Amino acid sequence: MRDKMLETKLRLLTLQLESWKKLHDLITYGLDKAKPIVSAEQERQFTEIRANLLQETAHIFNELGILSELSGKAMNVLQRGVSVRGVRELSNEDVRRLEAEWNAVFTKLGIAQGQLKSRRKHLAGQNVLSYFFERLFRRPAVAQ
Amino acid sequence: METRLLILNADPVFQDRALSVFDTLEEIEIRIVRSLPEAISVLLEESFDALMVEGEAALALEQATNARQHFPSLGIICVVPPRYGSQINALAEQQKIGLLSSAWSCRRLRRELERFVHSLEMQSSPAAEGVDPCHSLIGNLNQFSAAEILQMSCLSQRSGRFTFKSGRGNSEIYLQHGSVRHAVFGSLEGESAVAEIFRWRQGRFYFEEGIISQVQTVDRPWAHLLIDNLQKLDETLELVSV
């Protein structure tokens, strides 16, 4: 069985994770002192990814129900990382914060993706009938 | 086997009319990219059954036409807003690109997309495994590209049949005295089939000496084919680096 809502969430989450990974690649490049040249193309890619994240993050986090938890951290990353050159000129303290906040967002998204995939795998082994039977006869949660 | 569909959509989060249809379809694996260079790069690296472009009519068709030039055997459809005009319709028909309207009702859009996916399933034939060890030349395309193998065989004036087997299907190239005489891959024949095989980076091949084709679909010397196809490949790779 396939749950449309779950598939939509998974699709949005995958897109979001992809953008965060690409952003990280460019941040890592910017912080690498051994690579002194930052091309206009790399700056364009960075702006493109940042623009996508800025407009999509709130919507996707809201759909996933993690807006309050992650929105602040995500915005901090996007506000600190203005460009590849900008990242290169950040102080050590700011770089440390940027990396910690990127990691917090990435970790949470990764975990959420794993949970959704697990749910999909579980659903794949069920048909509509068994799904509703399971819901009907599931033991209700008891408040302690 | 799941059908693999690559979707090119610049705004997949907010403009997801067709994408949301795929959330309900079984037996299909989708991958979403946001730009044409990214799409070309993914198509070069992995095997997909089709490409779907979703966006404004003119831009979507331009991207689809571009992809068609580099991947002649790929199934391509565009999902575009309505009222795109007869010019776009004619161009799509000429390039064998399917046009679907994003304004159609969910039910109709779903039906048309299902039909498209079904047509892909009918086309895709699983690559037959197993290569006879008696063949005079056997190998893997990871190690030698099709261009290198054909170059070597043409230089030594071979006559026979090359069979290439990959996830995309099987294809055959017939040589006669060091020239390509006939090539076939699915519905493609002649030079377009040779162009397609040139791009393969995965799969296996073997050569059977002495099998000659009665049909002749290629009449240019090998050197011309090689130069043209390498140039095309360069153009494709250039597009990726844009």
The predicted structure's pLDDT at residue B235? 84
> Where does the pLDDT of residue B206 fall: very low under 50, low under 70, confident under 90, or very high at 90 and above?
confident
Residue B10 contacts A where some CB pair is shorter than 8 Å = no
The most confident of the ranges A42-51, B23-32, B74-83, B157-166 is A42-51
Cβ–Cβ gap A2/B13 under 8 Å: no
* Cβ contact, residue pair A11, B24, below 8 Å: no
**Percent of chain B scoring above 70 in pLDDT:** 93
Distance CA(B87)–CA(B91), nearest Å, equals 6
Q: Is A81 helix (H, G, I), strand (E, B) or coil?
A: coil
Euclidean distance between CA atoms B161 and B173, whole angstroms: 6
CA B42 to chain centre: 12
CB nearest to A8's CB, from B14, B23, B34: B23
A63 touches chain B (CB under 8 A): no
Average pLDDT on B3-32 reads 90
Confidence at B71, pLDDT banded by 50, 70, 90: confident
pLDDT digit string (tens) for B133-162? 556 788 888 888 888 888 888 888 888 899
pLDDT digits (tens, 9 = 90+) for B159-188: 889 999 887 788 999 998 889 999 999 888
Cβ distance B13 to A15 less than 8 Å, yes or no, reads yes
Q: Indicate if the pLDDT at residue A56 is higher than 90.
A: yes
> ipTM of this model?
0.81
Q: Which residues of B touch A2 (CB under 8 A)?
A: 23-26
Local structure of residue B9 (DSSP, 8 states): E
| Average pLDDT over all residues of chain B | 85
Q: Which residues of A103-115 are buried (b: 16+ CB within 10 A; e: fewer)?
A: ebbbebbeebbee
Contact B52, B6 (CB under 8 A): yes
Min distance A77 CA to chain B CA atoms (Å): 21
Could you give the percent of chain A with pLDDT greater than 70?
Answer: 89
Cross-chain Cβ contact B20/A8 below 8 Å: yes
Q: Is B9 left (phi over 0), alpha (psi -120 to 50) or beta?
A: beta
| The predicted structure's pLDDT at residue B40 | 87
DSSP B47-89: --SEEEEES-HHHHHHHHHHHHHH-TT-EEEEEE-S--HHHHH
- Specify the residue for token string 């049909």: B215
Judged by a CB distance cut-off of 8 A, whether residue A45 touches chain B is: no
CB contact under 8 A, B13 and A12: yes
pTM: 0.74
Question: β-strand B50-54 against B3-9: which pairing, if any?
Answer: parallel
